[in-house]
Chains A and B, each alone.
Chain A
Amino acid sequence: MSLSKSRKERLVVLTILGVLALDYPLLALFSRAELFLGIPVLLFYLFGFWLAFILLMAAILKRKGVEKP
């Protein structure tokens, strides 16, 4: 039940990044009634970032050999 310090730091930074990216004012940049590739820009941004966030999290949490606490 331990995670190396650098991985913990990466997770915390990732969370901060997520909170910043998914709130005002960054979100306001995409609040337009337009389509991008046939999808509303706001929806495209939110789901795109969402998926990227999940993939990053999976990459950070991936098991790499035996860990030292």
Chain B
Amino acid sequence: MIVSWSWLAPLISILYLGLLFAVAYYADWRAARDRSLIRSPFVYALSIAVYCTSWTYYGSVGRAAVSGIGFLPIFLGPTLIAALWWLILGKIIAISKRNHITSIADFISSRYGKSPVLGGMVTLFVVIGIMPYIALQLKAIAVSLEVLIRHMDAGWTTNVPFVPWRDTALYVAMLLALFAILFGTRHLDASERHEGLVAAIAFESIVKLGAFLALGLFVTFGLFDGFGDLFGQALANPELARLMTFEAIPGGYSSWLAMTFLAMMAVMFLPRQFQVLVVENVNEGHLRQASWLFPLYLFAFNLFVFPIALAGRLLFADGSVDPDTFVLVLPILGRQEWLAPLVYLGGLSAATSMVIVEAIAMSIMVGNDLVLPFFLQFRKALREDLSGIILTIRRGIIVVLMLLGYLYFRLLGESHTLVGIGMVSFAAVAQFAPAILLGIFWTGASRRGALAGVLTGFLIWTHTLLLASFAKSGWIAVGFLTEGPWGIGWLKPEALFGLTGFDPITHSVFWSILCNTGVMVAISLFDRQTAVEQIQAQNFVNVFQKGARGGNEYLWSGFVSVRELRHLLARFIGPLAAEEDFAEYHRQRHLQPSDDAQAPANLVAFAEKRLTGAIGSASARVMISSVVKGEELDLQGVMRILDETSQVIEYSQRLEIKSRQLEAATLQLREANEQLRELDRMKDEFISTVSHELRTPLTSIRAFSEILRDNEDMDLVERRNFTDIIVKEAERLSRLVNQILDLAKIDAGRMEWHEVEVDLPLLAREAIDATRQLFDNKAVRLINKVPEISCRRMADRDKIMQVIINLLSNAVKFCSPGTGEVCIEWRETGEGVGLAVVDNGPGIPEGELEKVFDKFHQVNQGGMEWPLGSGLGLTISQRIIERHQGRIWVESTAGEGSAFIFTLPHPEPSS
């Protein structure tokens, strides 16, 4: 090859970083135009994959090559805990958003009474615990670059000239610092969200996964003939066959369990994980999909780790190649001039994403919880704009952190394998787990308990892991490890109190987490919390309860003017932003802003939250208390207010329930009343109609009887005529009374029903026979179209007969003599079977169709003197049919006759 990789490799690294800058810049540009790139659960899940560092990329293969599947707990742990993310992280995210929390140190400090000491301590421990991890990434970048250059330039031989390229790490570190400064500290924002950063991280997650999968496919199917061939060859070698079982894992099952636990905690509480999971979270709902998308990413990433490790062991059987570099060396061995640089870039992306996010997260923590509290002690009184200074401090911190990481790598670089350092960092952040998890589910966890717990855990971590590793690298006399400090045997760092049988990590995790949790719980149980602690505990634990909010407002009872408060906010977030915030506050509450007025308690709380976003809860509290005159509430005062408030809330809730019940009762009463009134009206109407109907025949009977009585000389024919009328009217009267009684019985539910099997067509024929005389009398033709079939239904025979006769006699009444024609037809529909009685009478006007079944309704016959029916027949028919679950209706066109139809339903399949 003509071109030299000694400049080509650094060049593609710089170009790649340039691309990263471009991605981040583009995302920020989009965000500024309100067209965010990152509002998706997929981007969120990809950003969480910042968990996969160069430690995963190179180190997993290295570990798999010597201890088989021992690398897996680091990814199985996060998968298992992800199932609980919705319960744990969901709560943490909600708390953080409501309280403007921007780092893990701030979270712990805020939960435990906004304690500056706790925040500072957590930050300090994070720096000590994570620094080696950052150094590790820089080392990975330097080593991978060196390996790439050496082997690509020399072609593949085992004997290559050594080119020292160590200082690449320094340049890379400075470039990453620049990136972090540009995209992580551009402005002081209350939410501390960085869209460009998240987009770049998500992009890097795609690059590293893609490169690793490409390598895995190449190794498995390019260097070998698929999984079967690779695993088959490995199985033939007893040493590699051992890697396929648990025997190869140092520490065995206890170590497996400890690493799973550490990974569960680390994936949530490493500063960079907290940053992407909680602080950079755009939408709380994204967590739902990320909970399974992120484990899926881990699954894909790990598919080829073990095959690559076995391939490395098989191809470099002589042990000449460090397993941590298998990932990079294998494509070079395969002479893949495109794959090798791609794999290198994948490793670079894994390392850079981790370093950038970690640096930004730590700059916020160190700035807010370590530097600012001291800084503000001296500058509290000064009335100057501090936002610029705070950003400068953060930028400085990033540069210092990078330099420290670089120094650490140069000093301690050669003494550890990659996985070793990573686990030490995991064990460090696991010390925050008890304080956080107990803190969000148990209001009793107290500040002193958390302080003592974290401190205890961290001291044990320092003793059993950090100092022990110093001893191993020769910084401390080896006697510390073998004899115990000052020769005290039971203090030996890897066998504390004589506990042996665990590997160092398991041993340390067991003691540190046990003592951490134990001390914290014990002290909390016997501690008395201050007012601020109690309020914060309520705010955190009951974050999802409606009444729990607003407790902050009771924290301040002193006096401060609105102007003073705004000036304070302006010093940290800039005058413009402060002005806008205050205007927004007043607008939401429909208040008139007034500078000289005394600030209400919830405005003070509002300002404190805004400040928390910018400088952390502890400093925000200090700053607010510097302007609020008057005393803070004491514990009794706060509790009294809280008690009163909760009582008031309870009373008002009870009142609300009572009034809702009353309302419901009133509504029911009103409905019942309405019904009664309607019934009353109907009764009145019924009585007046009935009496009217009864009076008509009575009147004529009386009139004719009187005529008969008064005219004794009336001739016989006339006398007979009158008597006939009297008899007819009397019949009509008794029919009417019978019908009224029937109807009353049906309506009152006292009618007796005798259900038997009834053959409907047969019944129709019988009804026709019974009414034949009526038709002959009026010379109306009756046409029977009912087929000679048998169709049985359960029904009351007499009542159905009554209906048919009713319809037939009704039809005959409205037909003209001579030309009249009534037709009875058979109907069979999906609804049921029944009969139709069709006449060619005058028909019923459209407006009356609905009313013909009403009581005493008489169709307007236009000029007819005597009403033809009682007005009850159809009503009774309707009741009867409805009692049989059937339907009766009328179809008619005025002038062309009408059809009365009824159907009885088909029998239920079961009966």
Contacts and interface: CB of A to CB of B under 8 A. Distances in A.
B257 A23 contact: yes
A58 interface: yes
Contacts of B253: 23-24, 27-28
A18 B303 contact: no
Contact of B80 (A22, A39, A42, A46): A22
If over half of A's interface residues share one DSSP class (helix, strand or loop), that class is named, otherwise mixed; here it is: helix
Which 10 residue pairs of A and B lie closest in terms of their CB atoms, listed nearest first? A38-B228, A24-B253, A40-B244, A33-B241, A58-B292, A31-B246, A31-B245, A15-B83, A57-B292, A18-B80
11 contacts: A3-B87, A19-B80, A23-B256, A33-B241, A43-B69, A50-B79, A53-B80, A54-B79, A54-B296, A57-B292, A61-B86
Provide the main secondary structure of the chain B interface. helix
B564 interface: no
A22 B76 contact: yes
A18 B83 contact: yes
B299 A47 contact: yes
B429 interface: no
A35 B231 contact: yes
Interface in B219-267: 226-228, 231-232, 235, 241-242, 244-247, 253, 256-257, 260
Contacts of A2: 544
Nearest to A10: B83
B257 A46 contact: no
Interface stretch (B283-291, B453-461, B593-601, B648-656): B283-291
B292 A42 contact: no
B319 to A, nearest CB: 21
A11 B69 contact: no
Contact of B295 (A27, A46, A57): A57
Nearest to A50: B299
Given A18-B83, A35-B235, A54-B299, A42 B246 contact: yes
B239 to A, nearest CB: 11
Given A1-B90, A34-B235, A61-B289, 4 more contacts: A2-B544, A11-B86, A46-B72, A69-B544
Contact of A8 (B87, B93, B232, B303): B87
A1 B299 contact: no
Contacts of A33: 235, 241-242, 244-245
B84 interface: yes
Given A22-B80, A23-B256, A39-B231, A54 B244 contact: no
Contacts of A11: 83-84, 86-87
A68 interface: no
A66 interface: no
Contacts of A27: 246, 253, 256
Nearest to B93: A1
Contacts of B306: 43
Contact of A15 (B80, B227, B245, B256): B80
A61 B291 contact: yes
Contacts of B76: 22, 46, 50
Nearest to B246: A31
Nearest to B284: A1
A23 B295 CA distance: 18
B84 to A, nearest CB: 5
Nearest to B288: A61
Interface string B608-632: 0000000000000000000000000
B231 to A, nearest CB: 6
Contact of B292 (A32, A39, A41, A61): A61
B177 interface: no
A33 B256 CA distance: 19
Contacts of A61: 86, 288-289, 291-292
Contacts of A23: 253, 256-257, 260
Nearest to B97: A1
A46 B299 CA distance: 10
B292 A54 contact: yes
B804 to A, nearest CB: 53
Contacts of B423: none
Given A1-B284, A22-B76, A33-B244, A38 B232 contact: yes
Nearest to B254: A24
B268 to A, nearest CB: 14
Interface string A42-69: 1100110011011001100101000001
